[in-house]
Amino acid sequence: MAASAGEAGPSFLARLVLVLLGCAFLGAAWVWSHRSEPWAARLVDDAQRTVGVPRR
């Protein structure tokens, strides 16, 4: 049975946005896991300052 256009699922753009969000999340998790290294600590501190978390 063929599905109509309204029941076809998410559009290409919606899928692309979800894939990009997933990649961003995995990248952030990878940097967070390496936060003891100087380059990653700088990125984590910058991100925490952006969202208003006080410095350690």
Q: Give me the helix-helix angle, 12-33 and 38-51, nearest 10°.
A: 120
What integer pLDDT is reported at residue 17 of this predicted model?
97
Residue 7 lies in a domain: no
Cα gap 23→54, rounded to integer Å? 27
Express each pLDDT in 1-55 by its tens digit: 555 656 778 899 999 999 999 999 999 999 999 999 999 999 999 989 999 887 7
How many structural domains does the chain have? Answer: 1
Judge whether 4 lies within some domain: no
User: How far is it, in rounded angstroms, from Cα 34 to Cα 42?
Assistant: 11
pLDDT for res 50: 92
- The answer as to whether 1 is a domain residue is no
Torsion 31-36-37-40 (CA) sign: positive
- pLDDT at site 22: 97
Q: What is the pLDDT at residue 8? A: 75
